[in-house]
Amino acid sequence: MTSTHSSLNTAGPSVGAMATIEAKRLVRNPFFLLANVVTFGLLVMMAVQGTEAKPPGDLLSWPVVPAFFVGLTSLVVMARQTRSTEGAAEAIIAAPGTEAHRTLALGLACLVPAVSGLLFMLGEIAVAATQKPVPMEWWFGTMSDAHVLAALTANAPVACLGGGLLGVLVGRWLRFPGAAAVVVVALVAVCMLGQYPAEETTHPVLRLWTPWATWQSGTNEEDGTAVAYGGSAIWYLVYTMCLCGSALIAAMWHDRVARVAQLRALFAGVVVVGLAALALSMTTGTTANRTSDPVPWFHAD
């Protein structure tokens, strides 16, 4: 192999151009567009339902909307897009860059769903700023802004980014029919089952190994109380970002030419940082659940 093919830095400008092409393909995908319409439609619906008598609640739970619709849709779309990109590359002998470069470009295109998640999060923050949250949202006034913002960031833009990157990983390594659908089902099952420790007040932090972790119980229909689950959202954010990085590197590893010492070292570094962040997310911050005070005027509809 020539030195041109052995380095991951030789096609920098072309990677940017390919990333732009892949991003445009993603934006034009009808399923991705539909997922965004549903996501932001639900955001508007949840916002307009808030009134002075009954302002919006469960704000820390809202990011499940973009994570589910945009993130999971991006997983399926990017898996298909990755395979179709490689099919085109095989058909054209003079395909630009190496497979690793094309994978990196696909990874950069995953910033598109991340932007969708970020816009949703900003819209949610705007709702909280213009409509004073209900009393069960007490942690917006008592928890640090960094903790709240980290929880929202990990569960919305980073989750959407991770969905797309996992799709690239699936597209590179799994070739059986319906692979993306199988991964989607497995991912949802893991995240749902992994939240079981959240209700166990002795060890709620054990849920934090999952790529999407809940930070709020939702409203108690009897008295309006809610529970903020334990753990450090700041370190959890670092952990989820490391998951995203490891998914992209693992996808690039499919290219045998790219398996150089620098990539191995980078992957090892991301894994070490991710494991350290996971440990810190479970051992720092608030490790126990906290329940809000009852809401005197609350009653179920």
What is the model's pLDDT at position 196? Answer: 92
Q: How confident is the model over 153-183, as pLDDT tens digits?
A: 999 999 999 999 999 999 999 999 999 999 9
What is the model's pLDDT at position 86? Answer: 64
Question: Tokens representing 180?
Answer: 């993306």
Mean pLDDT of the chain: 87
- The type of residue at 251 is A
What is the model's pLDDT at position 290? Answer: 85
- Ranges of the chain whose pLDDT falls below 70: 1-13, 50-55, 86-96, 133-136, 138-141, 296-301
Q: How confident is the model over 134-152, as pLDDT tens digits?
A: 666 766 667 788 999 999 9
What is the model's pLDDT at position 51? Answer: 59
What is the model's pLDDT at position 200? Answer: 77
What is the model's pLDDT at position 11? Answer: 41
What is the model's pLDDT at position 55? Answer: 67
pTM of the model: 0.89
What is the model's pLDDT at position 87? Answer: 59
